[in-house]
Structure 1
Amino acid sequence: MMRSPLGSDAQAIAFEARHSPEGLLARYANGRVKHFWARQVLTAIGAGSLALLDTVQLGLITCALALVGEGVDCAILRQVPRWLKRGMPFDWISRITTVTAGFQAMTISACILLTLLAQSEHHVSFFAIAFLVGATFNAGVVITYHPPAGKTRVGIYAATGLIYMALDIAMEGGLVAHHGFEMMAVLLMANNVRAFLTMVIGAQRYHVQSNRELIKGAQALEKSNQELLEAQREARQLALVARHANDSVIMSDKHGKIIWINEAFQKVTGFGWHEAVGQEAGALLNGPETDAETIQAIQSAVREGRPVRTHILNYTKDGRRIWVDINLVPICDEDGQTDVVVAVERDITAAKMHAIELAGAKAKAEEAARAKAAFLATMSHEIRTPMNGIIGMSDLLSESALGPQQREYVSAIHTSAESLLRIINDILDYSKLDAGKMTMVEEPFSLARCIRMSADLLRGSARDKGLFLDICHDMALPDIIMGDEGRVRQVLLNLLGNAVKFTAAGGITLRVMAERKGTTYAVRISVTDTGIGVPPDRAARIFEQFEQADVATTRKFGGTGLGLAISRQLAQRMNGNLVLMPGDKPGATFVFTFAASAQPAERPTELRAPAVTQVLDLTGITILLAEDNRTNSLLIARYLADAEITLWFATNGREAVELVREHKPDVVLMDVSMPELDGITATIQIRETQGWQPHIIALTANAFDSDRDDCIAAGMNDFLPKPVRKADLLAALARSPRVHKPLGSSPTHRVSGEGQAKEAPNWTSQPASGTTSGRSTRSSGL
């Protein structure tokens, strides 16, 4: 049976959830409640037998006792799923259900001991012992699901057998002949019970372990296949980029002999494949006027295994001189020796020869800068899509029943993913600034609260390193100022985060002052640490993109080198600046200044309150999820797993349009980037249709303001950037006019996909009694 990608991961999650202590307890409770009447067959047989063989009163008494015990136990067990969902302590639930199990076992034991009162001439000891063995077998069947309850029942039944024999002997006035046979019968039955329990427990453990090993094997196989496919895809993409690049690309061995060239090289130089491959690049391209020092510099860089970029004069096949900008990168082997040299060359002859074409070259450079920004934004989109799955699934996994070691692993995954997301956001912010698309807002906020909240976020990290973090101000701060609170906090978090990162002892002091000048405030915030500081020769460069104090700093502390560059540009956008103050003391002092307008007297203060996550009732609504990434679809399905909804899946925009027309969903979660038909075009087609119009929410990793505007212009009602968090998704659904009621009773989740079963993986956890039919996947939550 073929499974969708990452199907075994979902299967492993569902398997571990079912076999976790909470899952086993829930299954135990459901099973006991479900088979209540089946167990009463044994009760009816016992009570009826006593009524026929002895008295009706004795039969009724034993039947009533058994039903009382079963009724109390099942009444408590019916509450277990609700308690687990509400987050009640597991140990408390286990103890309560163990007590009710013991009470139920004692009522059965009381029924068995009452047979001693039988007035029949025939001994009923064998009947009582057989009944006791049957009850023990019944307790042993579920002992692996709730060990405390099972062991309590078995212990009570064992004690009952001993009490029964002792009372029987006492009532007979001593041992008589039939007692020996009864004792032998008890021993034989006890041995059978022991063998049965051993077999049940061993078989269950073997079954669970075997299934777990099978799932682990499937996960390993899927991961290996995915990594292999990814490596092959990346290799094909790199080969296509190099082959069709506009710049000349040359690959040479460590001796300088050419081993590969692209088509652009052949067009620029005139040398064909067979004429160039096997020749030394210098001998083929250099000429009498080529600068010897430049040649020497390139050869030295190759020998030392370091990259070099320079301009050099080359000659084409027909003897024409061309100036090229060469970017040469040696690739080293495992021993650190140069193995392959990759050179990317660009013809800059016109820029060297003509002043007019110099302006054209400048335009090309600006175009290249815009292309870089577009590339960074595109890469941010491509990385955010899988990051959505990583962060979301780690959030969901952290909410499940995990051991300490597994929780540590999940925490490490989540922390690493958040760190990567911060790097992606830095790159995206820089590309926005570089492309001139960064917008600043003007809204009222409390400067003191902004500073305090920023410091509180880093206070825990400082405390873990034994550092102090103090906030000082020499004058009273204004209550409310006008500006972009989010960008002010972003700069503060970057400065405080760097201070904590690069400080090993001592601490950090944040000092703030705000001086009023007419209708504006000049705000000055300094962050001083006692860390490693910045060497004077590097002080000017740390505000450049991708720069840190030195390479060793990058290796030791990590980071992209974009934080200070972004922070300075943000400060300048706020009519201020960010500078490093010179000084002889250890550590560093950064000064962040910006201008903020005073709060107008006639304007009421409106501070943004923290968002409150509401619990929604999605009962009865239909949601269509249009998403081509299976991991992201799985994540959204998990987010909505507790809602009583009908959830449809579409893997491209064309399917989404068809399903909207056919099933009329209330809400559409529309991914913007999909094959065949993208989300923007699909939305336009839906809005042009005369008929049902759903509430459409955009899901996209494109986080520019222009992307949001494009979505709204196409007819979408809301916008959710990736990674999508559960709280953000629920908040967006709450804004839909079809969702308005508070959460009521426990929900049921239905996932439908008629005609879509081959597209949508089975992401729902099936209960023990669940069934799947047709091409739809449906499940009921516990």
Structure 2
Amino acid sequence: MKVGNGSDNGPLASYERKYSSLELMLRYAKGRYKTFWPRQLFVFGVCLFLGLATDMTIAAFGFLAAFTGDAADSFCLRRLPVLAANGVPERRLRLLSTASAAIYGAGMSICATLPYWPWVEAGVDTGHHIDILFSIAFLTGVAMNAAITLPYHRAASVVWMLFFCAVPTVMLWADLKSGGGFTTEWQLHAAGIVTMTGYMFWLASYGRRAFENTRQYNQATAAQQQQLEAANTRLQEQRMEARRLALVARNANDSVMLMDREGRITWVNDSFSRLSGYSFDEAVGAFPGDLLNGGKTDPATIQKLDDGIRHAVPVRVQVCNRRKDGSWIWIETSQVPMLNSAGEVETVIAVERDITASKEHARQLEEARIAAEEGARAKADFLATMSHEIRTPMNGVIGMAQLLRDSGLSEEQEVYADTILSSAGMLLGLINDVLDFSKMDAEEISLSPVNFDPRACFESTVRLLQAQAGGKGLEMALDIQDDLPAQLYGDDRRIRQILMNLAGNAIKFTKQGRVAVALGGAPADGGYELTFTVTDTGIGIAEHKLADVFERFSQADAAISRQYGGTGLGLAISRRLAEAMGGSIAVSSELGAGSCFAVRLKLQAEQADGAALPAGAAAADDAAELGGLRILVAEDNAVNRLLVEKFLNAAPVELAFACDGREAVAQFEGFEPDIILMDMSMPEMDGLEATRAIRALPRPQPAIVALTANAFESDRKACMAAGMDDFMSKPISKSELLDLLAQLAPQAQSRRAG
């Protein structure tokens, strides 16, 4: 099993290589072939004594056998490192070296037993054939060497030991067969063989234990050395890191300050001195607050810094410090506690950065934001004022033109009156576009979703446009999908506005041909995706201008504005409205071949508790519906008072007028009206204040309608919050006024009767 940190050059890696099975085998081989010649010298001496004792021929043949076996074994072992380096598997190397060990054992066995072979004994006149001590002694030396090398090459050592056990045993058995019998001398030889065999195995076991002890000691030493080297490496790395961190801290642009657990400064870098004006000697030993706190820092921030040290948690705050020269500076400080092994705060590191310029920039941005908001409010106030001031005379112009048209004029005079109404309507449309876009810029888009019939919505809107298209000789077509739902939930007023803008533009920019509206849709995500297209055969839009047509005050060409007129706000308003309803508008066009605007709106299915609005309010033809109503008109403009009086001249109602809010409150107490038409902007007391005053009186309450030139949604909300029941923006028409009074009449008459 591999032990260590995985390094290829560490002590443990070196130990593992040294004691691997391949390395042990190679060390065995090296030891064998390096001692080849000393062994031959020893064997030659033994054989020389053998020759002197017996015959030199026997000695020569014995030495030749031993030399041949040893030479073959040594040659094979010398090749092992080369073969291993060439990638020969260890298993093959072990088999090869074991086979060479067998050759060596065979050669040594021949050398040890040659004097006792029968043909040798027959030719030599000696009396040694009973004593086999020479063979046992010779082979015992080989076996002991095998026992010593057992840990390095088990297979080769076992082969040698088998030769040691087998050869003496065979010789003793041969002696028994030759007729010697179980003599005392034979028994002693057998006991000697057994004793030497046991001693050989004991020696092998002892050698292996000694080898294992040495190996374990070396392993422990290598592991300890590895740990020491790793610890030394870590120490060197920590020293290097500490040196680098010290260099970074010393040369950092940010101020770096070290504090003890009590909060006293123990070290600062040069940037601290540049930032605060205090030198190293002045800072060390002092509390940062004593040096830098000038009274402008929030006490809660100081407490947060103290708590960070006390509770050993990082803190990041912004503080206003005082420099040594008395000047003020904003600092962003990051305070991090460092803990010792016991989990206690040992050092606190504070890194501080000068953010005075950022604070100043933020202050300037805030001032710019406030100025922008003030500008937006000023713009809104200006638009509200201009709306009121323009709509007030427009109310008189349009109202009087309506009365004039209905006064029995000649055909030529009716043309003049219609022209006045048409021009006033165009002017009012421009005012409404500007106001709409102003409200959208302020993100005041308001949607009033109701259940409505999409088929009736589009049919009535297209019907209104038929006259405009017919006046130019254009075909106006409407195609509605067969399976369109009868009711959807959405703001049909805004949908009409989008359709009017797109279809109105199509009619305006088409000289001949047709304008087609296609309405369809499909269920989507639990609701309904309403889609419609407006296609014309008009002048078209150049491809490079398509991206600009939805921008405010933008038209495809400046010449178009001069030729066709318009503010360039209609498409911008339509896109904002579509996006407010979760949809979009896309355009495709070819210059000279017409355009196609595709609208996608996300609506809901019909709501169970919703009430569908009528496609158009019916006119109050039956004057009896208004019979007996008392109507108070609070209006400071004489023309508008006259206009309302003329509108209601033929209606069976009682009229009273008030020139300001205070008079309206007084008239309420004396006249007891059923309905009050209340202007918002009046001298002395405005309409909102007058409404609140009336609602506070403990008397039967009338229906109060805001009749005002203020057309913002915020104005509507303000009127409803003051206690009004409805809202009608100027200029008003006779039919609209009569419709509204007809809707309020049942409520007012019921209140009066009750």
Q: TM (normalized to structure 2)?
A: 0.48
Structure with a larger share of its residues in helix: 2
Q: TM (normalized to structure 1)?
A: 0.46
